[in-house]
């Protein structure tokens, strides 16, 4: 009877900065991300730092960044990806297809 080849598993660490409350008029956090996988769906939200372990290395990962409005009357400031992804983050997900190896992704939201 053939034995199944074990599937390679990878880790994904997402670091979001700053990990601080948004303006009281809007609530929530200044910066956050949501991680989804082609295997397992939504893996979870990130404020601060979080490592997702045991993800199949063959999985497609999408990370969606969000920045809180500056106030009840002003929209969000820019946010950018770093490490395994780069460029503007608002409205542009970080896509790792496939995850391929242990990866680190940073999301930094401007505060001024």
Maximum CA extent, the chain: 66
pLDDT band of residue 4 (cuts 50, 70, 90) is low
pLDDT at 16: 98
Q: Would you state the pLDDT for residue 89? A: 97
Kindly report, residue by residue over 34-72, the tens digit of the pLDDT.
Answer: 999 999 999 999 999 999 999 999 999 999 999 999 888
Tell me how far apart the alpha carbons of residues 32 and 15 are, in angstroms, rounded to a whole number.
9
Tokens linked to 30:
């200044």
- Dihedral of alpha carbons 97, 100, 11, 109, sign: negative
Which sequence spans correspond to the domains of the chain? 9-109
Residue the block writes with tokens 């700053």: 18
pLDDT bracket for residue 21 (50, 70, 90) = very high
Q: Which CATH class is domain 9-109?
A: mainly beta
């Amino acid at each position: 009877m053939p034995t199944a080849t074990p599937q390679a598993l990878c880790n994904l660490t997402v670091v979001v900065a700053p990990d601080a409350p948004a303006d009281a008029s809007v609530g929530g956090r200044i910066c956050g991300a949501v991680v989804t996988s082609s295997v397992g769906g939504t893996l979870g939200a990130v404020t601060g730092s979080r490592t997702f372990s045991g993800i199949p290395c063959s999985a497609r990962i999408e990370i969606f960044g969000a920045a809180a409005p500056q106030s009840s009357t002003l929209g969000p400031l820019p946010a950018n990806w770093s490490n395994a992804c780069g460029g503007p983050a608002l409205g542009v997900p970080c896509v790792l297809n496939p995850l391929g190896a242990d990866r680190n992704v940073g999301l930094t939201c401007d505060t001024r």
